[in-house]
Structure 1
């Protein structure tokens, strides 16, 4: 980032991000940006999303750019559900059809795998290995259950999935950032608020004790980089507390929140987009992921009034 990019005002940051979106983003992210920041049509978002739907009702075709091929995958389902949530349509038949597909790959304990092994014949990143007999994963199950709870889903899949998430979260003694992000997404919306607050507080103490959050953006190397993560794949305060209403907000002081938001704003690149920090394993994944990350960054800054 240049000094000019660092000194951008909030309107300048949004304008630069918009230029980046028009220049680089897929149709879906262009339509999402229009809807979220320029009063664009939710119908247009829904139409763009439909291009990623599989015949079985799930979502594939690199809706999540790291999950390639035509096989419906849990991360594709989560991306679809969160997009529907953005446009106020994550309920009824639209959401139930996605969850019906997930039910076909759900394990007896109520969890869904990180990756459906049916995608073995298609490109997949080295950090998403294909397990022929995969266990249920908190990461994917909690992400999906969280957005469904946010939208008061009554799908029968949700009750056993919720119990699976509670058991896995209660048993955590150590974790990694992406799994924690998923757990927070679940705890922020699950109906038992007292239990969620207690679990989140324990999770926050674990995150700080493990050092898997950058508290001083000037010294990210002081935090713990999880083995197997890419060099520089740090996780900052706003990665955990994406909006001030999150239970994870209570994990951090005002000074830590402010420093994290300052760093997030200053992380905008000269081209107007935000970078990805995870491993780039194929030519198209960074190009397709950066607009999504850019929209996420803008939404977090907006949520905090920044």
Structure 2
């Protein structure tokens, strides 16, 4: 289990005294956290805590991963140890920094980390206390992480397997970006040749909650067909919402897919081939 409901959240708060993480992105992320967050949740900023940006997005994309040891120091500041139960949410239905934090903590080797389905909206609707008080935990020693234990894929590997039928590259961006109608963020519209488009929003139901395990499993088993899940590579614009689909795949029992962190923001800045239209 990686995704929890607000009822499960309530039970875990009582039973396990978890570390609660409010993960958000954007220039006003801290401002939004300060305007209201789950009581006792500490803040994790996508832009500064969950990324180590370079000057040029051509090298690693817009949200490169931090060095594992730097992430370990950040986890210690949050009070997270190897025995902690960690619950994370964001204000984008789990589609933004919550999924990224989940993936990073899993890739650090942590076991008990859960994402709240529906995010902050669901938390507020469930009547859980929302506070403007800045929360903190007693700092711990840096979390012992020296490498990412989940597959991290680079652009050269993607290029080498993009036409190999044993592999599958999933582009989780909105369809209009994938087909190349327009590109609101990066420099070039289109997609990696050979990639298929399965928007991350298709992981959610009409209420913005994650679909059931059975629905996610049926969808992705059909898409992946007889491929090894370890031959699936997931990307987005900058390696963030891709984690939403990696979370869905894990919840569906399809483990081993890789994250192309640089994603389209890196690929499109390196004179690599670009496809448009529907595959």
Per residue, is there more helix in 1 or in 2?
1
Relative contact order (alpha carbons < 8 A, sep ≥ 6): 1 or 2 greater? 2
Tell me the TM-score normalised to structure 2 length.
Answer: 0.30
The answer to which structure has the higher strand fraction is 2
State TM-score, norm by structure 1: 0.28
